[in-house]
Amino acid sequence: MRDIDRIGSAELLGRKIADVDAEGAVVFDAAPVAALLGLPPEGLMAGLRDNLVFQIHEMGTGDDLGNTRVTFRHRSREVVLILDAAGHVLGVH
């Protein structure tokens, strides 16, 4: 098992795990998100494609302007990532 497969939420704080593509969509590094959901990266991608993993993307307003909250759900697991405008993790819930 690779180190990234065992990553915990504390190790993600401050780490860049996302970018914004030319169309304005947030694009994630699958490995850390998958690890938090207990999946291999290819399992995350297959789950998203097959509608077994769901994500909700919310843009911050007011004091949170520029931040993004993304919730990933797979079966009974849920991971909420708070990102700054550059894609760095500010919080994991």
pLDDT confidence of 26, banded at 50, 70, 90? confident
Number of Cβ within 10 Å of residue 68's Cβ equals 19
Contact in structure between 85 and 66 (CB atoms under 8 Å) = yes
Q: What are phi and psi of 42, to 5 degrees?
A: -70, -30
2-15 pLDDT, tens digit each:
444 456 678 899 99
Q: What is the pTM of this model?
A: 0.86
Is a pLDDT exceeding 70 seen at residue 61? yes
Question: Residue ranges of the domains in the chain?
Answer: 3-92
